[in-house]
Amino acid sequence: MRYILDTDTLSSIVKNNSSVIANLIKHEEDEIYISAISYAEIFYGLEKKGSDKLFNKVNSIMGKLSIIDFDVSQSEFYGKIRVELEKSGTPIGDMDMLIAASAFSIGAILVSHNKKHFSKISGLKIEDWC
């Protein structure tokens, strides 16, 4: 099984959330991915904080994860997701739709504590490790 960690899950790892870490270690390293979109969001947060210590910790964690680059397939999934949510009147943020598109593109389960937003996307498999 493949899992894509949402940005909030990555933040939980950085904060040493015991539940997330316990779930993480149940899986092989080659099962765990992050989207380039989450990677961008994490580094935006690091830039805002300006902490070298935090930057080093995050880099250490990121070095163990496979990053899914944004590609044409994800662009197509994003378009489908956005139209579906607009038609149903339940839009969510662009970054969340892009992360969901990443999960769809590799047939992964999205690991997020933000089920409220992601549950609006039909067919998206979600787990909350928090």
pLDDT tens for each residue of the chain, 130 residues long: 999 999 999 999 999 999 999 999 999 889 999 999 999 999 999 999 998 999 898 988 888 899 999 999 999 999 999 999 999 999 999 999 999 999 999 999 999 999 999 999 999 999 999 9
Domains of the chain (ranges; CATH) run 3-127 (3.40.50.1010)
Per-residue confidence (pLDDT) for residue 63, from 0 to 100:
85
Strand boundaries in the chain, DSSP class E = 3-5, 32-35, 66-68, 109-111, 126-127
Q: Residue 64 has what pLDDT?
A: 86
Burial profile 54-79: b = 16 or more Cβ within 10 angstroms, e = fewer: eeeebeeebeebeebebeeebeebbe
At residue 40, the pLDDT reads 95
